[in-house]
Structure 1
């Protein structure tokens, strides 16, 4: 395991409330089974937050809305979620005294729905996907309906709210303090919040940083066709405007069976794992560790832990029913020259990253053009 540039300062073990338990998450060195020492990557374990990485965004968005007066004392919070942000909003509701209404779809894991309810949230499940925008658009439509029924209600609008991005500046600071130099940063992309927030904070001080986005097959974020998706927490059937397309040097699409393989290998080898996003990010980060020059410092953000995935990623019956068992991830991704060149159905890499709605070139392409 390589030495860090800076020493870690252990956080206080005391917290008067759960606000003090969010942040200052550890980093863990990962090599085998994804690569061999001295190669490897650092994993930022956001599962050490009470509910995962989106505790940061939920608490920050709520705090800013309260400070501006957009969210009045005791007013309801209404949002669409696949789970992790919902957990963070439930935490914010408990801390600040707001009823929380969360809109999801039948794909939410049963354990997640039960825990959100236990934490005081009201969970609304849409039953039919939108004909064009899929489940995500159906959820957004239900949010609009709930907001229309209560003028006092407030929606964080995680897909477009700039406070979602700003919330991750402390995470970027933690990474810089823990690792010093970072050459490559690997992030799953869903709403675009944590990847954009970290990039905004780190790129001015680490201009050579290479940002690698990880998406799921069937997601339209980076210009692939929208399909029914099995994986939760990354990907989208709409275009979140918080995604900073220009910050990415490349994007990888990962299939569910490949993410399951990686998440389970992590669990067996490091006792530190997570669900769909963690498996997908680990797969890509491991490949980068194998193929980049020795000494390249790679950081990968693991958004959550394994607990909500006991009914899916770590459930043999579920995985068997969905054809996810007995599948080993390939040694390397396929490559396509542009997002629209062909549909990704397995792990696929593309070094041309554009905003599907605007045609924005990547930072690397802009530098080459200059």
Structure 2
């Protein structure tokens, strides 16, 4: 491990809750999670008040207000599996907007309680869309609510370019903290943070290798849709913010494999997270052990473990869904292209294409 030192600096006092967002720490994750002498740097976005999407919620709301798209005091309505909801609740408090979060029965009870505590209204859809699943059902409910709320605004995180722009600051933080980055490992859901961070890093480090992490059952990289336990990554639609040409490869990770990694991280390093952090850590661990020694890998953990006390870190929930005792293989399976076959466990593909436009990947 290259030891990176810096003069100690106190974080500034924050006059508002929004001032607590950003400047999150990085942690070296090495043995015993990895084999001796190998490891990666984890960007701990759980140090934000609500998680990584505090950044994009604040930025999208601020930008919409500046453009006049969102009037003072107007309602905000958005579909989310949870983390963006926390960010929008923070943005609502910061800028003075009522917030309605549309989700589905898979949202953790703890998350619903937190959102309510922060003043957001939670609207749950009751049945999935026959083709687009729960995600499309939520988007339909958002459209219906917007039609009945004059002046209401939807951030549309899946297609809003402000979602991407919001993460430039995170990229600059990584540059200041690590000095050099050879590989970026990021989960992909809306596509915002992988595109935003990756585009800035690529300008500074032209040889950067960007590795996307998805969940089995997700359509983002061309796999067929299937029921998914993991929330916060993956999709049953095709978000326009995904920068397909940026990715050198994609890894699909199954729920049990992400649980194993998240729980092992907790035991070994204390710092951990939920589904996305587990999937990202499993992928970054393999890269750290297979790429040449000295390769500097930055992995983004989108949030911390707290909201997953009833799922990833709950033995009863994990037993119910057969998520315990599944130790991942030493390396991922591999497919030549995303349509080669349906994957149900950790699998890697280095031919990344846009499943709608079939544009070849331009990653390294």
TM-score band, normalised by shorter chain: over 0.9
Q: C-alpha root-mean-square deviation of aligned residues, in Å?
A: 1.1
Tell me how far 1:2 sits from its aligned partner.
2.0
Residue deviations 1:51-106 (CA, integer Å, cap 9, x gap): 00000000000000011111111100000000000000000001111000000000
Tell me how far 1:342 sits from its aligned partner.
0.5
Aligned partner of residue 203 in structure 1, secondary structure: helix
Alignment correspondent of 2:150: 151
Conservation of the 8 A alpha-carbon contact between 1:252 and 1:348? yes
After the TM superposition, list the runs of 4 or more consecutive aligned residues in structure 1 that deviate by more than 4 angstroms. Answer: none
Tell me how far 1:200 sits from its aligned partner.
1.4
Alignment correspondent of 2:107: 108
Residue deviations 1:330-352 (CA, integer Å, cap 9, x gap): 11000000000001100000000
Conservation of the 8 A alpha-carbon contact between 1:11 and 1:24? no
TM-score, normalised on structure 1?
Answer: 0.97
Aligned partner of residue 150 in structure 1, secondary structure: coil
Instruction: Tell me, in whole angstroms, the C-alpha distance in 1 between the residues paired with 2:336 and 2:157.
Output: 31
Bigger Cα displacement from structure 2, 37-46 vs 345-354 = 37-46
Conservation of the 8 A alpha-carbon contact between 2:210 and 2:363? no
Equivalent positions of 1:262-281 (< 5 A) are 262-281=261-280
Residue deviations 1:259-311 (CA, integer Å, cap 9, x gap): 00000000001110000000000000000000000000000000000011001
Tell me how far 1:13 sits from its aligned partner.
4.4
Equivalent positions of 1:71-220 (< 5 A) are 71-220=70-219
Alignment correspondent of 1:2: 2
Instruction: Tell me, in whole angstroms, the C-alpha distance in 2 between the residues paired with 1:14 and 1:2.
Output: 31
TM-score, normalised on structure 2?
Answer: 0.98
Tell me how far 1:38 sits from its aligned partner.
2.1
Alignment correspondent of 1:307: 306
Instruction: Tell me, in whole angstroms, the C-alpha distance in 2 between the residues paired with 1:130 and 1:64.
Output: 31
Alignment correspondent of 1:16: 15
Conservation of the 8 A alpha-carbon contact between 1:33 and 1:265? no
Q: Summarize the Cα distance change of 1:333–1:89 in structure 2 as closer, same or farther, 3 Å threshold.
A: same
Instruction: Tell me, in whole angstroms, the C-alpha distance in 1 between the residues paired with 2:337 and 2:362.
Output: 16
Residue correspondences, number: 364
Aligned partner of residue 58 in structure 1, secondary structure: helix
Instruction: Tell me, in whole angstroms, the C-alpha distance in 1 between the residues paired with 2:287 and 2:206.
Output: 19
Alignment correspondent of 1:341: 340
Alignment correspondent of 1:321: 320
Residue deviations 1:113-145 (CA, integer Å, cap 9, x gap): 110011000000001100111110000000000
Aligned partner of residue 180 in structure 2, secondary structure: coil
Instruction: Tell me, in whole angstroms, the C-alpha distance in 2 between the residues paired with 1:285 and 1:46.
Output: 16
Unpaired runs of 5+ in structure 1?
A: 366-370
Tell me how far 1:7 sits from its aligned partner.
2.5
Alignment correspondent of 1:284: 283
Residue deviations 1:162-204 (CA, integer Å, cap 9, x gap): 0000000000000011011111100000000000001111111
Alignment correspondent of 1:298: 297
Alignment correspondent of 2:24: 25
Instruction: Tell me, in whole angstroms, the C-alpha distance in 1 between the residues paired with 2:235 and 2:222.
Output: 11
Tell me how far 1:30 sits from its aligned partner.
0.3
Unpaired runs of 5+ in structure 2?
A: none
Tell me how far 1:33 sits from its aligned partner.
3.0
Aligned partner of residue 203 in structure 2, secondary structure: coil
Q: Summarize the Cα distance change of 1:176–1:126 in structure 2 as closer, same or farther, 3 Å threshold.
A: same
Bigger Cα displacement from structure 2, 13-22 vs 83-92 = 13-22
Conservation of the 8 A alpha-carbon contact between 2:31 and 2:38? no
